[in-house]
């Protein structure tokens, strides 16, 4: 069940919310759609789910075109909108039965509602009003309604926004479990979320794709940036540090402790030891700074 997005442009009036966006999602992948607010994530997700039309370009889900075959696409896609709009006055079971009866044959509804309640762990809350549930349980109701017709693709727009740390862990776990059987695209502006759940990351900024890689590769790219924190035994003048081969920048962060950035792709640690030996300094500590997708994200999406 693959998703193919080709050269999608979306205009709202004169504003270009998406600009020639292309990417492919392979069956069974969990893809993180990462970007700052206003990047175009929700717009892209609405187009894939047939909620709004694109201005240009083409999207297919399992070979079905979102414009020409929307019924087939909707049958294959479950969509959890941003802010998860729900009927707060309805009871959980009543709501799921209502949604199910729109999408399923009558004979299947009760069985399917029960399955969804089990899958999403809504059992203890199933007889409560949705308005009485915590945000985490409301998200479960949202997930249950998005999956009631058993779609192969799940499009989840910021599914964890507003959850407390415990709920966050639970919902992420649930998404990971669902991702074993389904193709999932989820949007988020939380980098750690991508690291925790996704196989792949598509980073979008101002309507354009700025990165499309496996989570592993992006992490690798981040650690290749080679930022080293080194503590010397004595004061070193910044001018002297410039003698270190491959040094791009040096910043003193504590007494005698420097944050040193090396040229991309080079490991500057040996050069620092050589420099210390030649200038009669001792290296007391030397660490590679922890880096993650967050730093790559900032680099790719910061205002230029």
Residues that bind ligand ADP (CB under 6 A): 12, 15, 17, 35, 37-43
Pair of tokens at residue 258: 């420097």
DSSP for 6-22 reads EEEEEEETTEEEEEEEE
Query: Of 13 and 239, which has the nearer Cβ to ligand ADP?
Result: 13
What minimum distance in Å lies between the beta carbon of 15 and ligand ADP? 6
Nearer to ligand ADP, 40 or 179 (CB): 40
Residue 17 CB, shortest distance to ligand ADP, in Å, is 3
Q: Give the nearest distance from C-beta 39 to Mg ion in angstroms.
A: 8
How many residues lie near Mg ion (CB under 5 A)? 3
Which residues are registered as beta bridge partners of 3? 25, 61
- Binding partner of 130, given ligand ADP, Mg ion, none, CB within 5-8 angstroms per partner class: none
Q: What does the alpha-carbon distance between residue 150 and residue 87 come to, in Å, rounded to a whole number?
A: 21
What is the rounded CA–CA span in Å between residue 133 and residue 86? 11
Task: Pick one of ligand ADP, Mg ion, none as the site partner of residue 43 (Cβ within 5 to 8 A by kind).
Answer: ligand ADP
Chain center to CA of 242: 39
Binds 237: which of Mg ion, ligand ADP, none (CB < 5-8 Å by kind):
none
Q: DSSP per residue over 50-77, as a string?
A: TSS--SEEEEEETTEETTT-HHHHHHHE
Residue closer to ligand ADP by CB (options 189, 269) is: 189
Which of these, 246, 212, 279, 245, lies nearest to 32 by C-alpha position? 212
207 is written with which tokens?
Answer: 């309507």
35 φ/ψ angles, rounded to the nearest 5 degrees:
180, 160
29 binds, among Mg ion, ligand ADP, none (CB under 5 to 8 A by kind): none
Which residue is it, tokens 């925790």? 196
Q: Which is nearer to ligand ADP, 40 or 159 (CB)?
A: 40
CB-wise, 41 or 93, nearer to ligand ADP?
41
Shortest distance (Å) from residue 273 CB to ligand ADP = 45
Q: C-beta of 236: minimal distance to Mg ion in Å? A: 47
Of Mg ion, ligand ADP, none, which one does residue 209 interact with (CB within 5 to 8 Å by kind)? Answer: none
Give me the helices (H) in the chain, please. 41-48, 70-76, 92-103, 109-119, 135-147, 165-179, 191-197, 215-223, 238-241, 269-279, 293-301
Q: Which is nearer to Mg ion, 42 or 49 (CB)?
A: 42
Q: Which of residues 40-99 bind Mg ion (CB under 5 A)?
A: 41-42, 82
Residue 38 interacts with which of Mg ion, ligand ADP, none, CB < 5 to 8 Å by class? ligand ADP
> At 200, phi and psi to the nearest 5?
-140, 155
Q: Tell whether residue 160 is a contact of Mg ion (CB under 5 A).
A: no
What residue ranges bind Mg ion (CB under 5 A)? 41-42, 82
């Amino acid at each position: 069940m693959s998703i193919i997005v080709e050269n999608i442009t979306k205009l709202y009036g004169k504003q270009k919310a998406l600009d020639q966006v292309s990417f492919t999602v392979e069956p069974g992948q969990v893809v993180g759609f990462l970007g700052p607010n206003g990047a175009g994530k929700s717009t892209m997700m609405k187009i894939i789910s047939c909620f709004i039309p694109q201005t240009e370009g083409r999207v297919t889900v399992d070979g079905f075109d979102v414009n020409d075959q929307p019924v087939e696409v909707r049958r294959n896609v479950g969509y959890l909108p941003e802010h998860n709009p729900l009927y707060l006055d309805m009871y959980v079971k009543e709501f799921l039965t209502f949604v199910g009866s729109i999408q399923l044959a009558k004979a299947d509804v009760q069985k399917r509602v029960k399955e969804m309640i089990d899958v999403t762990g809504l059992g203890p809350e199933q007889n409560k009003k949705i308005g009485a549930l915590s945000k985490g349980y409301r998200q479960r109701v949202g997930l249950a309604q998005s999956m009631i017709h058993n779609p192969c693709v799940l499009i989840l727009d910021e599914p964890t926004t507003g959850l407390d740390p415990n709920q966050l862990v639970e919902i992420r776990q649930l998404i990971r479990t669902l991702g074993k059987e389904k193709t999932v695209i989820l949007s988020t502006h939380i980098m750690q979320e991508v690291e925790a759940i996704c196989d792949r990351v598509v980073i979008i900024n101002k309507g354009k794709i700025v990165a499309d890689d496996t989570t592993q590769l992006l992490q690798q790219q981040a650690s290749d940036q080679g930022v080293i924190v080194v503590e010397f035994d004595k004061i070193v003048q910044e001018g002297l540090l410039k003698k270190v081969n491959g040094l791009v920048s040096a910043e003193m962060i504590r007494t005698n402790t420097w944050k040193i950035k090396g040229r991309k792709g080079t490991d500057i640690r040996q050069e620092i030891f050589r420099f210390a030996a030649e200038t009669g300094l001792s290296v007391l500590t030397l660490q590679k700074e922890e880096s993650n997708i967050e730093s790559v994200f900032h680099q790719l999406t910061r205002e230029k």
